[in-house]
Copies of this chain bind each other. A is one copy, B any other.
């Protein structure tokens, strides 16, 4: 391949950087890939940085020195995130989401790639100061969301299960009381997935009383990890007293009125 033109290199550089959020690429990696000198690469990197920041599409960081390089940090403007959450609140409040027993159907939203990719960025934007090493969730419905949050942070996901599986190897198990349903459940985490001392961000789709989240905190503690944050897409307004504190939620669900066919849900803006 002949040497590429500047515009072509900048397009490729943009694609590779945004595809690997948080990943630190060495300058020499790109110098070799594009067959250019470091001074030329620096200009290309600056072009990507300027273009992304001008349109509020994320940041590009360069780190100098031998261990340095360049990386892409996802994140839109706070006002763009807020607008997205407001639009999603309208969608969540649709009466056809009301299920028997006053439950709200949200699985479809958690299965839409575009929406969940965007949610991953919103979670990152609000929680990046926590600098977690892992995202942790429990099966099943929150997995897609937790995984895309992990993608935005570029850290692995750790999944707790409700049973032991032979395919997971040795596990640590706890029993916990599901806060809303008041029944006792088991939660298991493969022993090998978390390093002692690692920092964990708990992510789940819906938090009611917080029993499941408290179970995850306990499970992380059992393997010597530290929970640095707990984040939920939706928290319910009742019960008012939660079993956990210091958490972040992006929507508060006040009421699902089956009779009046009305959902009351508000975004929690940044």
**Chain A residues at the B interface, C-beta cutoff of 8 Å:** 1, 4, 7-12, 14-16, 18-20, 23, 47-48, 50-52, 54-55, 57-58, 99-101, 103-108, 111-114, 116-117, 139-141, 143-144, 147-148, 150-151, 154-159, 161, 166-169, 190, 192-193
On whether the beta carbons of A1 and B111 are closer than 8 Å, the reply is no
- Which B residues touch A111, using CB under 8 A? 147, 150, 156-159, 193
Across-interface contacts of A147 in B (CB, < 8 A): 111, 113, 116, 143-144, 147-148
Chain B nearest CB, measured from A38 CB (Å): 19
Partner of A51, one of B11, B103, B157: B11
User: How far apart are the CA atoms of A193 and B57 in the complex, in Å?
Assistant: 32
Report yes or no: B114 in contact with A54, Cβ–Cβ below 8 A. Answer: no
Could you list 22 examples of A-B contacts with CB < 8 Å? A4-B51, A7-B51, A11-B11, A12-B52, A12-B54, A12-B55, A14-B15, A15-B55, A16-B57, A23-B114, A105-B167, A105-B169, A107-B159, A107-B168, A108-B156, A111-B159, A113-B150, A113-B154, A113-B155, A113-B157, A140-B140, A141-B167
Report yes or no: B105 in contact with A168, Cβ–Cβ below 8 A.
yes
How far does the alpha carbon of A54 sit from the alpha carbon of B15 in the complex, in Å? 12
Q: Which 3 A-B pairs have the closest CB atoms?
A: A11-B51, A113-B151, A8-B51
B contact residues around A156 at 8 Å (CB): 108, 111-113
Measured CB to CB, the closest approach of chain B to A86, in angstroms, equals 20
Flag if A50 contacts B8 (CB, 8 Å).
Answer: yes
Distance (Å) between the CB of A26 and the closest chain B CB?
Answer: 16
Neighbour of A139 across the interface among B55, B58, B140, B190, CB < 8 A: B140
User: CB distance A47 to B7 under 8 Å?
Assistant: yes
Query: By the criterion CB–CB under 8 Å, are A169 and B99 in contact?
Result: yes
Which residues of chain B have C-beta atoms less than 8 A from A51's C-beta? Answer: 4, 7-12, 15
Please give, as numbers and ranges, the residues of chain B lying within 8 Å of A157 by CB-CB distance. Answer: 111, 113, 144
